[in-house]
Amino acid sequence: MELYNDFAYVYDRLMEDVDYQRWVEYIEEIFRRQQVSPKKILELACGTGNITIPLADKGHEVMAIDLSQDMLMVAKDKALSKGKEILFIQQDMTELQLEGEFDTVLCMCDGINYIIGETQLLDLFKKIKNHLVEGGLFIFDISSYYKLQNTLGNHTFGENQGDLCYLWENYFDEEEDILEMNLTFFIQEKNLYKKFEEFHQQRAYTAEELLGLLKEVGFNAINYYNEFTFEEVQENSQRIFFVCR
């Protein structure tokens, strides 16, 4: 099933409580701590541009890719409405192939969790390293193993906004370390409701697993932090940020 097609057009509404500005400010703080001022940034799995566009506002030259054409259409419309000309490209990040190199590559908001196989993830890390300038940064975050297993796994969530309702049912496969998410949406269209469904999978990785893969492809300065801080990861950390150079 293709991801983020109909969902793309209600995504921002359902995510309106997410503080994307916090991501952008944290990324900028990483730049300050790493003493870099990246000009060319590549963002993978950019979604509807909620991080892409604010980074462009700060003067960075951002190129962004996503697998979903619908998400990119929403992102492009938002960028144009703010007078930003950002190059959005439809591409599967596991098949990353672009011209040139970048000062920084970003993959935020669980993008890495969507890579299910370690071999595929290792190959992605190689491609990212090949697209970075010497000394360039690769920054990404994941939903932690703890979050996928305990906070989301085997739980059901839902919301009724009147003209928009959703049901989000989750199952965590402990043998495969995979979270299966079944999402059902009902959107009001005049006097009727349109129903659509999506099925998503995310892989639960430990920080140690990712550290091993990153070292294997040649990143030699790797730090990882508890969400939006520069502190050590805790057993119950919900989100983990990686900074690789």
pLDDT classification of 3: cutoffs 50, 70, 90: low
Whether residue 119 has pLDDT greater than 80? yes
Half-sphere exposure of residue 20: CA atoms within 13 angstroms, side-chain side = 15
Clarify whether residues 135 and 159 are in a common domain: no
Q: What pLDDT digit, counting tens, does each position of 162-171 carry?
A: 889 999 999 9
- Report the predicted TM-score, pTM, of the whole model to 2 decimal places: 0.94
Clarify whether residues 75 and 120 are in a common domain: yes
Q: Mean pLDDT of all residues in the chain?
A: 94
Whether residue 193 has pLDDT greater than 70? yes
- Domain tally, the chain: 2
- Give Cβ neighbours of residue 29 (< 8 Å, ≥ 6 apart): none
pLDDT classification of 190: cutoffs 50, 70, 90: confident
Clarify whether residues 190 and 70 are in a common domain: no
**Residue 2's pLDDT is what?**
47
Whether residue 4 has pLDDT greater than 60? no
Q: What is the CATH number of the domain that holds 75?
A: 3.40.50.150
Clarify whether residues 136 and 91 are in a common domain: yes
Clarify whether residues 116 and 151 are in a common domain: no
Q: Give domain status of residue 32, yes or no.
A: yes
Clarify whether residues 41 and 70 are in a common domain: yes
Q: Give domain status of residue 3, yes or no.
A: no
Clarify whether residues 209 and 125 are in a common domain: yes
Q: Is the Cα dihedral 223, 227, 230, 236 positive or negative?
A: negative
Rounded to 10 degrees, what is the CA torsion of 188, 76, 158, 140?
A: 170
**Residue 7's pLDDT is what?**
77
Residue-number span of the structural domain to which 170 is assigned: 147-202
